[in-house]
Amino acid sequence: MEKVIIIRYAEIHLKGKNRGFFERVFFVNIERALKGLRHELRRISGRYLVEGFDEERVDEVCERISRVFGVHSYSVGYQVPSEMDKMYFAAKTVCPKEGTFKVVTHRASKKYPLTSMEINAAIGGRLLSEYKNLKVDVHDPQSHVYIDVRENGSALVFCAFERGRGGMPVGTAGKGMLLLSGGIDSPVAGYMMAKRGMSVECLHFHSYPYTNDQAKEKVVDLARILSRYSQTVALRTVSVTHIQEEIHEKCAEDLMITLLRRFMYRIAERIAKKAGAECLITGESLGQVASQTIEGITSSNSVVTLPVLRPLIGFDKEEIIERSVDMGAYETSILPFEDCCTVFLPEFPATKPKLSYILQEESKLDVEALVDEALQTTERIVL
């Protein structure tokens, strides 16, 4: 009797003739998640089995599997030959010794000599005979014993389904460039696009020396947290200090954030195209702050040709915080280190700036020279 972990995928089964591609990427992603741990991974008819792992590290194996997008559910159980005595012994191992229970059998092999109901009755009856404090409850049992009879002469026996993160395997939906700040929203935005199968690269804008090394390290930590789910391997950083100083000196104060974001989008698009990314990703939520009104968003969009994805656009702050907590980023995101958007922050930022007014103020700046200077400060940090 061998302890195994059974992994079931989510939306991949909907992919028809393309399903093989998604299954292969999913396989690679699970292998990557388990790198460094002894294990064997194989695919069996819509399921994946993790075998040969150190049973003392089963919690770590499960924790890593739980972070892989595409996992619908997983179970820790046993693989045995599909003989009644062997299946009973495994069922006895996973079944509690008291309370109510129910045996549920699924037969992938319809050639098996007993029906699912007959297996349920036989295994359940033997468990009742051995454990006097057990009772059957087919409607609302306290526990289950699941038996999955496979086509290859084996059976999988387990007692629970652990919920996975769902979504699609990362690497099946192109690449996006995430504008990663030090706040709560942008890591969640990257997480949500990775959940839809997109590979996520990270780009952070800083304003050293107005922002310090602690602020930069905070962003590196957020990128590392995101990389657990998105497979991000590096973070790029760009200084926009000189741009902010120019805007502060030459342009209307109320457009400080609006103009800065237009520069960020221009720089991000240049870096994204060079990195092979097909879109930009931001953590904007409509109306959350002054720059995230529809007028502000339209202003930012107008300077780029790549699509800008905003997965949080309709979320309120509480919903975003819930997701930040779930992915393990919240405690890092709320550390009190400022990001570049807090530098030269105007007292009354424009909430509905007209494009004509923006262009008038922007004409006071040498836009291309400032963008080129910013690109020269690009650094790449391996996570």
Q: What is the secondary structure of 231-279 as a DSSP string? A: ---EEEEEE-HHHHHHHHHHS-GGGHHHHHHHHHHHHHHHHHHHHT---
Q: Decide: pTM greater than 0.95.
A: no
Tens of pLDDT, residue by residue over 79-103, are 999 999 999 999 999 999 999 999 9
CATH classification at residue 229: 3.40.50.620
Please say if the pLDDT value at position 109 is more than 90: no
Say yes or no: 190 and 91 in one domain: no
Say if 339 falls within a structural domain: yes
Whether 220 and 351 map to the same domain: the answer is yes
133 and 188 part of one domain? no
Tens digit of pLDDT for each residue in 277-334? 999 999 999 988 877 899 989 999 999 999 999 999 999 999 999 999 999 999 999 9
Q: Are residues 154 and 180 in the same domain?
A: no
pLDDT band at 343 (very low <50, low <70, confident <90, very high): low
On whether both 312 and 194 belong to a single domain, the answer is yes
Q: State the CB neighbour count (10 A cutoff) for residue 263.
A: 24
Give the chain's radius of gyration (CA, Å): 27
Domain boundary (101, 128, 163) is at: 163
113 and 227 together in one domain: no
Which of the four pLDDT bands, split at 50, 70 and 90, describes residue 265?
very high
Q: Considering its fold, how many domains does the chain have in total?
A: 2
Given this model, what pLDDT does residue 339 score? 65
Q: Is residue 243 part of a domain?
A: yes
Whether 342 has a pLDDT exceeding 80, the answer reads: no
Same domain flag for 366 and 248: yes
* Within a domain: 168: no
Q: Is residue 213 assigned to a domain?
A: yes
- Report yes or no: 227 and 200 within 8 Å, Cβ to Cβ: no
Q: Which CATH number goes with the domain that contains 83?
A: 3.30.2130.30
Question: What does the pLDDT read at residue 221?
Answer: 95
Same domain, 129 and 240: no
pLDDT tens for residues 13-32? 888 888 999 999 999 999 99
Domain contains 242 = yes
* Measured distance CA(258)–CA(357) in Å, rounded: 11
Same domain, 102 and 213: no
Are residues 188 and 131 part of one domain? no
Strand partners, 76: 5
How many Å apart are CA 254 and CA 98, to the nearest integer?
Answer: 69
Segments of the chain assigned E as strands: 2-9, 40-44, 47-51, 71-81, 99-107, 134-136, 143-149, 154-158, 162-163, 175-179, 199-206, 234-239, 280-281, 308-309, 379-382
Q: Would you state the pLDDT for residue 143?
A: 96
221 within domain boundaries:
yes
* Domain termination site, one of 163, 197, 228: 163
User: Which pLDDT score is estimated for 15?
Assistant: 84
Domain of residue 245, residue span: 175-382
Average pLDDT, stretch 120-145? Answer: 95
Assess whether 9 and 48 both reside in one domain.
yes
CB-based contact 283:186 (threshold 8 Å): yes
pLDDT in tens, 160-209: 999 999 999 999 999 999 999 989 999 999 999 999 999 999 999 998 88
